[in-house]
A and B are shown apart, each in its own frame.
Chain A
Amino acid sequence: MDFNDTPAEAEFRAAARTFLEANATLTSGAPQRDETETEQIERAKAWQQLKQDNGWACLNWPTEYGGRGATPIELIIWNQEESRYDVPTGPFAIGLGMCGPTMIAYASEDQKREHLPRMAAGQDIWCQLFSEPAAGSDLAGLRTRAERDGDDWVINGQKIWTSGAQFSDWGILVTRTDPSVAKHKGLTFFFLNMHSPGIEVRPIKQISGGANFNEVYFTDVRIPDTQRLGEVGQGWGVSLTTLMNERLAVGNAGGADFPDLFELASKTDLDGEPAINNAAVREKLADWYCQASGLKFTNYRTISALSRGTTPGPENSITKIVSAVKMQDLGSFGLDLMDMGGILNDATLDPANLIFQQNFMGAPGYRIAGGTDEILRNIIAERVLGMPQDIRVDKNVPFSEVPTGNS
């Protein structure tokens, strides 16, 4: 057992560091930013373009699609290094993490050569149009219709919770093409231009106050049949490709973590002493340290498997469940330590710069997005432990006869 890179990995890491040091600032030394969404997108696009110009974009994609043809372990090394820097990668997470891999698996060669390099260079931002008001966990219960009309498909319906739709250029979309068959069988998958006529994007304000996700309405939106991914009626299989990549992309929820709480507890008074001297505080700190450490070394085990060239086990499936709940509870406890001041949400009054408030208000979304805690537990039970699937009352029933959404 050791934590060392192989010589080749070390060389790769050194090259990544050289690039990052020359072109970015460490998060620890980063300035406070107060920028608009448009400014942030501009900064993100510039960073993505710079990466791509220097061979650091979409590392594991083939070079002809704008990537570098790197190994999985090289991708991880890059991510480890890049995550230490104050660089805006968020707007591309869905496109590069989920839409790109889906396109690589299903688009035509011409389409891949046209779209993927633009995606890799940050010229186009992509979004994921899956969830609907009546179909989230039960994605296959979606209702947005696609009807064939000559060489086109005509789309009518509504998506919801679409992150980044307000600034996206392209999107991947699952639709229902046949309501008369069982729900998984009547779906068809497309990619489309978000600037097409008939698309209306309406922001949804989140509990955290921001509006990163949207409702997206489709009224007679036309998509050429050439932009269909997979066969008609095979959209569920294509969606699974996206969702598998989503599970890889949505990892550690992040946010304020053990070191932040440790620092807060060391500085904050509780009953006339630093809070960290209090036994109840120490006990909680210990639990979160063990969780953070357990996740870190679970991730190391996955990396080891990749480094050896073997397939990682299922261990990493626990990351999102554990980290999102930790993010929430740890944030909440940080606010408790601030006592009456814990209700403040004013950066000028909080030396910790609102990181605990952000955990508290952001974590509920992490526990839902990309598969809820409950759905992920189902997945661990079924795929990792081999337990039976839930009983499906809607199996083999025509979709048009299945109750969906809110009654």
Chain B
Amino acid sequence: MNFEFSEEQDLLREQAQSFLNQHSPLDAVRAVLEGDQAYDAKLYAGMAELGWTATTIPEQYGGIGLGHLELCVIAEELGRSLAPTPFSSCIYLVSEALQLFGSDAQKQRYLPGLASGETIGAFALAEGPQPATAANLTSRVEGDALTGTKVPVADGDCANFAIVLAADADGGSLYLVDLDGPGVQRTTVETLDPTRSHASIEFSAAPAERLGEAGAGWLQTDRIFDRAAVLFAFEQVGGAHAALDMAKEYALGRFAFGRPIASFQAIKHKLADMYIAATLARSNCYYGAWALSTDAAELPVAAATARVSASQAFHECAKENIQTHGGMGFTWEFNCHLYYRRAKLLSVNLGSLPRWKNRLITNIETSNALSA
């Protein structure tokens, strides 16, 4: 059995860590939090230069055609560093969607730009504070024109194009829409995690080109989300471990009642529980990585398992990191809230935890995966 990453992949991890330590310190994350820019463009260009954006894109479309395990390694490090870039929208969602469902012409048109980091894509599904469903979706394509409003759209304000799920004569399909073209108005919206920028996009008869089969939009979205869930779960595990490390460092250095707070059992047990949650999540992520990289039939179950446990782990580690810091943890100045914000974003961005738990059990019911 070989259930760890290979030496080359570990090398990639080290390289990613040292690059991100240098180019994406928490100060850089904070600069995006407090500034006006949608993301750290210099950082993103550097990541593209290292080939991260090109990782899984085939060579014929300008990529380097590595496997998804490499992408998982990068995702964990991005999660650990909280890197403020549109990488996840472009790569976990849009590039995966194009590779799964795009025509050759669509791939030719969009993938090279994603691989080089020069174009940014966004995935637009949500329409306000509720789950988007076939029954309540109001964005609609008539002929080749899309009308409706999507909000929040991660990276919607800096993206050049979007993949949009919209109702149409066939029920619902995915569409490619040029965001710099006619019929598109976008405004940045305020979110709980301003280190990742989000927009409200209003389409008024914007030209739209279908991606994949007519009427298959919901099923395609499920498939895209299964794949993205594994990659986001690695970001969550990276974030969870970073929050745990931060809590530990603080607890070791902070004294109360004449001793380090790390010597109080309530703090020790809290951190032990954070470690347990993060370890379970990591192991589930490895299973997800295996399923993703081998296109296994188990992917829907593995992805939901990874997502549920990684969402829980990141939330637990982020909130208890604040608690461990006492009053300092509640200040804008300390970095604890950066993890807390990101944990919330990542636990709702592909649909909420209750929905993914339900989906996990549904996937087990339909796959008869009980032996797993």
Contact = CB atoms under 8 A, between A and B. Distances in A.
Q: Do A and B bind each other?
A: yes
Interface of A: 1-5, 9, 258-259, 262, 276, 279, 282-283, 285-287, 289-291, 293-298, 300-301, 303-305, 307-308, 315, 318, 321-322, 374, 377-378, 380-382, 384-391
A382 B289 CA distance: 31
B309 interface: yes
Counting chain B residues whose Cβ lies within 8 A of the other chain, the interface size class is 35 or more
Contacts of A385: 248, 268, 271-272, 275
5 contacts: A290-B312, A291-B280, A297-B287, A298-B283, A300-B1
**6 closest Cβ contacts across the A-B interface?**
A294-B280, A286-B357, A381-B268, A297-B283, A380-B272, A377-B272
Interface of B: 1-5, 69, 248, 251-252, 259-260, 262-263, 265, 267-269, 271-273, 275-276, 279-281, 283-284, 286-287, 289-290, 293, 304-305, 308-309, 312, 354, 356-358, 360-361, 364-365, 370-372
Given A1-B286, A289-B364, A384-B275, A294 B5 contact: no
Given A382-B268, A388-B260, A308 B283 contact: no
A394 B272 CA distance: 25
Given A2-B1, A304-B1, A290 B269 contact: no
Contact of A1 (B293, B309, B354): B293
A289 B360 contact: yes
A286 B358 contact: yes
A282 B280 contact: no
A259 B281 CA distance: 20
Contact of A308 (B4, B273, B286, B371): B4
A389 B3 CA distance: 33
A374 B286 CA distance: 28
A301 B4 contact: yes
B170 to A, nearest CB: 30
Contact of B280 (A258, A259, A290, A389): A290
B69 A1 contact: yes
Given A381-B271, A387-B251, A318 B308 contact: no
B247 to A, nearest CB: 10
A305 B2 CA distance: 8
Given A378-B269, A387-B248, 13 more contacts: A1-B290, A262-B364, A282-B358, A286-B308, A290-B284, A294-B279, A297-B3, A300-B1, A318-B276, A374-B269, A385-B248, A385-B272, A388-B260
A282 B361 contact: yes
A324 B262 CA distance: 26
Nearest to A282: B361
A3 B272 contact: no
Contacts of A391: 259, 263
A307 B3 CA distance: 10
Given A4-B1, A381-B269, A387-B268, A301 B283 contact: yes
Contact of B357 (A5, A282, A296, A308): A282
Nearest to B362: A282
Contacts of A295: 280, 283
Nearest to A379: B272
Contacts of A374: 265, 269
B268 A1 contact: no
